[in-house]
Amino acid sequence: MELTIIGCTGSFPGPNSPASCYLLTADDADGRTWRVLLDLGSGALGTLQQHIDLTQIDAVLLTHLHADHCLDLCGLHVAIKWCPSGWPVPRIPVYGPQGTNERMALAYGLESDPGMTGEFDFAAWQTGRPVQVGPFTVTPSPANHPTDEAYALRVQTTDDDGTHTLAYSGDTDSCPGLVEAAGSADLFLCEAAFHEGRDEVRDVHLTGRRAGEAAAEANAARLVLTHLPIWNDPERSAAEAREVFSGELEVVVPGATYKV
Ligand SMILES: [Zn+2]
Ligand SMILES: [Zn+2]
């Protein structure tokens, strides 16, 4: 599979990147290319169109319902509902926490029934239960973040070379679900919104060091730090992780692509 960084600024869009959104593409056994989004945060819908047509989205996978991870679903709803020529493909599956339709309807000012169910086919994550989207097998694990439901996602594809694993932290502080999601991952896309010595609050976000600790405990091959807010120093985040993680390590940049 291939990962493209659409948006990676933490907590709200920055001058050079939208908030959280990651495009995953992979071919199925018949050679059909599938495209799914990990989160669709503020500002991401515009940048996404530099990479794909919106009609090519096969599913949206939401880790949680904070605005920087889900709010551009409102714009996508408009694109689908009001496309003058009619939307050419079926409703887009949206996996997320319980109540995602109601929350998005509230955000847009719609009645919750029908909300956005005309445009999206909503389904709720169930911890540990994998869902299949084309060639992607996606398993949610519980994260440690101050909202009703938040998940880390383990995404796997299998081809002639074997099984490939990408893990995405969503937003979380250290927790068993994070290590479970990242177990022996080829690439671990992990948030590092906090800095050691600056952000003392717990059960919200990881520091670079705590991301590194999770990657080391999970035996991930490659750690890619993301969700850095505008006030973080990427080199400091990487240095924190480097103290405890000896594998391949980098900080994302917008538009970058990674083969997994
Ligand atoms: Zn966030
Ligand atoms: Zn959050």
User: Any residues with CB less than 8 A from the CB of 175 and at least 6 apart, and which?
Assistant: 142, 143, 144
Residues bordering ligand 1, an ion, CB closer than 5 Å: 68, 171
| Structural domains in the chain plus CATH codes | 2-252 (3.60.15.10)
pLDDT at 27: 97
What's the pTM?
0.98
Q: Among 36, 244, 62, 220, which Cα is nearest to 150's? A: 62
Measure 38 CA to ligand 2 centroid, in angstroms.
Answer: 14
pLDDT digits 0-9 by tens, 70-114: 999 999 999 999 999 999 999 999 999 999 999 999 999 999 999
Query: What's the confidence (pLDDT) of residue 3?
Result: 98
Q: Which helix (H) or strand (E) holds 92?
A: strand 92-96
**What is the pLDDT averaged over residues 115-141?**
98
Give the pLDDT band of residue 134 (cuts 50, 70, 90): very high
Where do runs of H (alpha helix) occur along the chain? 44-48, 67-70, 73-82, 100-108, 176-182, 208-218, 234-242
- What is the distance between the alpha carbons of residues 14 and 42, in angstroms, rounded to a whole number? 10
Q: What is the pLDDT of residues 8-45, one digit of tens each?
A: 999 999 999 999 999 999 999 999 999 999 999 999 99
Q: How far apart are CA 86 and CA 82, in angstroms?
A: 7
Calculate how far, in angstroms, residue 150's C-alpha sits from the geometric centre of ligand 1.
Answer: 11
pLDDT range class, residue 158, cuts 50, 70, 90: very high
Mean pLDDT of 209-215: 99
Query: Which ligand is closest in space to the CA of residue 204?
Result: 2
